[in-house]
């Protein structure tokens, strides 16, 4: 049964990008990828915001401020910062739902756990709003 959630993976490393996408597709999610800040900006402006964004804060491109502006425009969107260190974590805008997962050999499991958590929180919010 598909999970009907759209997850956007914004990752500079093609191996990690494809691994995360493959893992999420196998879980039944609708997973899409971008590889730089220009593609992230285009995705966010041309399509609806994803249900969850998995973001490498070191995403290449000259539009780092645009990346921060995009995130600031979607403060309710859950963001999983997937990074080698927490250095860039402090440079991001305040988001209601965000977490840092450090990249390592098992980080995909943590990423999937946080996706499940954010989805359960969104479901609770939707029930509470009714």
Confidence of residue 37 (pLDDT cuts 50, 70, 90): confident
- Can you give the pTM of this predicted structure? 0.86
Q: Which residue has the higher pLDDT, 88 or 72?
A: 72
Q: Which residue has the higher pLDDT, 24 or 92?
A: 24
> CB of 57 within 8 A of CB of 10?
no
> CB of 40 within 8 A of CB of 67?
yes
> Quick one: average pLDDT of 87-94?
58
pLDDT for 88 equals 57
d(CA 70, CA 66): 6
Whether pLDDT at 2 is above 70: no
Partners of 6 in beta bridges: 30
Ramachandran sector of residue 61 (left: φ over 0; alpha: ψ -120 to 50; beta: rest): left
Confidence of residue 70 (pLDDT cuts 50, 70, 90): confident
What is the residue extent of each domain of the chain?
6-129
Whether pLDDT at 82 is above 50: yes
Q: Which residue has the higher pLDDT, 82 or 94?
A: 82
* Distance between first and last Cα of the chain: 25
CATH topology (fold) of 6-129 = Rossmann fold (3.40.50)
Q: Order of strands, edge to edge, in the sheet holding 30-34?
A: 30-34, 6-10, 52-55, 79-83, 98-102
> Quick one: average pLDDT of 94-115?
88
């Amino acid at each position: 049964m598909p999970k009907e959630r759209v997850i956007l993976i914004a990752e500079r490393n093609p191996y990690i990008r494809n691994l995360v996408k493959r893992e999420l597709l196998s879980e039944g999610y609708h997973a899409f990828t971008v590889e730089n800040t220009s593609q992230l900006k285009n995705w966010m402006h041309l399509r609806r915001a994803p249900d969850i964004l998995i973001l490498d804060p070191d995403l290449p491109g000259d539009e780092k401020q645009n990346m921060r502006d995009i995130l600031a425009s979607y403060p309710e969107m859950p963001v999983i910062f997937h990074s080698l260190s927490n250095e860039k974590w402090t440079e991001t805008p305040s988001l209601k739902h965000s977490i840092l997962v450090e990249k390592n050999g098992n980080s995909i499991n943590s990423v999937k756990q946080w996706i499940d958590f954010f989805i359960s929180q969104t479901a609770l919010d939707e029930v509470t709003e009714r």
